[in-house]
Structure 1
Amino acid sequence: MKSVHIAKIGENRNAPRVWLEGGALKAAGFEAGKQFDVLLDNEKKSIRLTVCENGTRIVSMRKRNDKVVPIIDINASQLLECFSGMNSVKVIFDNDTIYIVPVPSEKKRIERESRLMELIKSGQSIPCGSISHGGGILDHALHSGFESVGIKTKLVWANDISAEMLEHAQEHNSLWDKNTVSLAMPMQELAWDFDTLNALPETLFLAAGIPCQGASVAGRAKKGTACAEQHESVGGLVASFLAIIGKLNPSILLIENVVPYQSSASMWIIRNQLRDFGYTLHEEILNADDWNVLENRSRLCAIAVSSGLNFNLSDLSRPEKEQKRLGDILDDVPLDDSRWSEMKGLLAKQERDIADGKGFQMQVCDAESVKVPTIGAGYAKVRSTEIKVRHPVNKNLMRQVTVKEHARCKMIPETLISDNVSLTFGHQLLGQSICYPPFVAVGELIGKCLLNLKNVFKDVHVKSNSNAAYQAELF
């Protein structure tokens, strides 16, 4: 191989055109006046030019500053039809041979779309992967949506920094089976662990909850950072995430995060790089309230689909409004249970915060409350700004919600959390997760899109025809 260039596909006389000229041609043996032949391989989507004494084509030329510049002008619809829909091609210059093939991003796009089409047509399960899996609640919601419209899926691997989270998911999350690969390692280590990535099963759908500590309002306030990327632990994970995507080449991927992540530098990098990878990105803020969830949590949902697949996130359906009360999901906690407390320390802190102008106040709800504030991963620390349940008789007493009540506030199936889990672990698993129904709806929408694959894929494949007469008409 002498050199590799990326050449634009232009247009001339209403036909596609690839124009090659200059030193790369000469170095490969295609000097002005040399004869060459052309061979089209539609199946491999490639064109091969070969220097030969009795070739059917001749290298053209023009003079520039008294120097002869070789030129090859490929301007034929039939020859370049195999690159239909592409903006550029990869040109490989070798000794007496030139190969014209799709650019790497287009090659990978065709590969992932073709493979997805094969699986849908054959009725096989779509292999799925998960980054920052946690307890797998996001994945369970999405897969429930897939299943509801008849799309079969299987979780082939899951990654999380916490081995404890993965072990809990393996035991309590029905997505896991004996073949699911557990990857208990930081995302940034997985990104450069090529041995592990190469050993993973094929992945055509990927869900990722990129850690949000750097972008969340609370996280930035705690660290005093100016931007999400300044966070020392998770600020650079966008690079690791994109490296994994580039390696695994999924057909569809979903990212969920806190709303402020939408305006972060990381999200802009994701948008631009996924576009260059050959994806179309769709974004929407999902408000759990639209799905009648008690916890009023909003999340960014970004879905990247391979650009040959039509998808519209605005088609997402929402249920009819239904009034719910906190009292409908509360456990029957005895009135004299030790968990009831006056929480004098938190009340005193509230007074200090008000005096300091901080505006932090306790969030106390009762059985008649129709909304509850966001319950975070650190809820077990008994923080002043997260939900407290007021005693039904003694208004001076309050308590924390239980782990099961926490799950119900997010409408997360209680089967996904162990009955014997600790308060710290249980609230962490649920608090770093999502409200369940919105992402079931997202799964349903993606599933419907997959069901319509036969009609919505753009036709980037052309029939192969290698007879001599066809080849002779190409220039």
Structure 2
Amino acid sequence: MDKVKVGSLFSGIGGIDLGFEQSGFEIAWANDFDAAACKTYRNNFPSTILIEDDVRNINPCALSDIDVLVAGFPCQPFSVMGYRRGFNDPRGNLFFEIARFIDVKRPKVVFLENVKNLMEHDNGKTFLVIYNALAQFGYSVKYKVINATDVNIPQNRARIFIVAFRDIEDCDKFSFPQYAPLEATIDDVIDRSIKHDDIYYYGSESRYFKALNTKIVDKTGIYRIDDSGIATRKWEICPTLKANMGTYHDRVPIIRDDFGIRMLTPMECLAFQGYPKKYTFKGVSLKSAYKQCGNTVCVPIIKSIAAKLFELM
């Protein structure tokens, strides 16, 4: 039986694609503009056609037909952590590139992911523009805010997931998965008994060394540094992993392990996004790896929704 084909825009390192692939879909083609993210994508999806280019330069007519279009389009214009400029930000306008692909390809399903604040941005007007654009092409829409904790991943990461159907009967049949309360802890994800490379540890030369050692006195919980310094709160689950981890090394969440106080490693960050251990970074800088971890998605959420779509299709 032919597999259900997926086309992917703003693919990043492939978190959405991975969740769909794990649910039985086939990724026909993918696109991203960031060279480092594309390098990571190719390392982990060697057989997928990846177009490394600005989406605005791509002619959808030149690409194979698909059943599902997925896109985790840029969230910074809508995030409470950014400037919230929305469609006034060039990155926000990239949603209309998705609409351009929908208009040409007319997939059976459109799957979108963005920050939770998309619903409230500009008093709901931004979300209404997106909803109306999908409706204009004849799609029926369902959406839900889901947190990583809902799929037993101990990270505070709430995102909105939008699923649009060309066939209203498919929309009526679809329902988002039911989720169970969080049971996993951060120590199910990290192992404090493992010594990592010295680059991850805060040594005496760090301006944070004294304060961190004063504050982080036991090997429980997780911490982070923000604009005001070392955050006073000790997190029982991982705080939201952000793309600015790649801009400021001290924005990476911090723990005390058996060997000192250190940042999470990129592979631990991927684990807090629900990625499998076989997923790797090769040939990219540490800063790029952290940025990619913060920019990606919680894979088990994608898999859970994709599995419901696969049953339907």
Q: TM-score range by the shorter chain?
A: 0.7 to 0.9
Residue 363 to residue 326, structure 1, CA distance change in 2 (3 Å):
farther
Matched, 1:376 2:242: yes
The alignment status of 1:213 with 2:213, answered yes or no, reads: no
Shift of the alpha carbon at 1:325?
Answer: 3.1
In structure 2, the CA distance between the partners of 1:426 and 1:414, relative to structure 1 (3 Å rule), is: farther
Cα deviation, residue 391, structure 1: 4.5
Deviations 1:344-399 (A, max 9, x none): 25988xxxxxxxxx984535898xx6401011123144455541112447xxx532
Name structure 1 gaps, 5 residues minimum.
1-122, 148-152, 349-357, 451-475
State the alpha-carbon separation in 2 of the partners of residues 327 and 201 from structure 1.
42
Q: For 1:169 and 1:297, locate their aligned partners in 2 and report how far apart those are by CA, in whole Å.
A: 22
Deviations 1:286-309 (A, max 9, x none): 111111112110111000011343
Match for 1:189: what amino acid? Answer: N
Relative distance call for 1:140 and 1:438 in structure 2 (3 A) is same
Q: 1:205 to 1:408 in 2, by over 3 A?
A: same
1: CA distance between counterparts of 2:246 and 2:36?
17
Q: Which has the higher contact order (CA 8 A, sep 6+)?
A: 2
Corresponding residue to 2:143 among 283, 287, 303: 283
**What TM-score do you get using the length of structure 1 for normalisation?**
0.56
**Which residue does the alignment assign to 2:12?**
134
Confirm or deny: 8 A CA contact 1:390 1:399 kept in the other structure: yes
> Which residue matches 2:185?
324
Q: Could you list the runs of 5+ residues in structure 2 that have no partner in the other structure? A: 212-225
Residues 380 and 365 (structure 1), Cα distance of their counterparts in 2 relative to 1, 3 Å cut? farther
- What does 1:24-423 correspond to in 2, within 5 Å? 123-145=1-23, 147=24, 153-173=25-45, 176-177=46-47, 180-190=48-58, 193=59, 197-220=60-83, 227-231=85-89, 233-264=90-121, 265-311=125-171, 314-319=175-180, 321-326=182-187, 328-330=189-191, 332-334=193-195, 337=198, 339-341=200-202, 343-345=206-208, 360=228, 362-363=230-231, 370-382=236-248, 386-392=252-258, 398-418=261-281, 421-423=284-286
2:243 is paired with a residue whose SS is coil
Partner SS for 1:344: coil
Contact 2:254 2:261 (8 Å CA) reproduced: yes
**2: distance between equivalents of 1:308 and 1:236?**
27
Measure, in 2, the Cα distance between the counterparts of 1:409 and 1:295: 6
Q: Which amino acid aligns with 1:184?
A: E
**Alignment check: 8 A CA contact 2:174 2:312 kept:** no
Counterpart Cα distance in 1 of 2:49 and 2:189: 39
CA contact (8 A) 1:326 1:370 kept: no
Aligned equivalents of 2:290, 2:228: Cα separation in 1: 22
SS at 2:195's partner residue? coil
Contact 1:363-1:386 at 8 Å conserved across structures = no
Contact 1:283 1:301 in 2 (8 A): yes
Contact between 1:169 and 1:416, CA under 8 Å: does it hold in 2? no
Instruction: Show the counterpart of 2:220.
Output: none
Q: What is the rounded CA distance, in whole Å, between the counterparts of 2:150 and 2:43 in structure 1?
A: 31
Contact 2:39 2:284 (8 Å CA) reproduced: no
Partner AA of 2:190 in structure 1: I
Letter of the aligned partner of 1:323 in structure 2?
A
More strand as a share of residues: 1
Q: Which amino acid aligns with 2:154?
A: L
Partner of 1:119: none
Q: CA deviation at 1:131?
A: 0.3
Label 1:359 to 1:156 Cα distance change in 2 as closer, same or farther (>3 A).
closer
Q: Deviations over 1:224-260 (max 9, x none)?
A: x5x31222x3031122221111011111010000111
Code of the aligned partner of 1:300: I
Aligned length: 293
**Deviation at residue 446 of structure 1 after TM alignment:** 0.8
CA distance in 2, matches of 1:236, 1:432: 18
Determine which structure has more spread, i.e. the larger CA radius of gyration.
Answer: 1
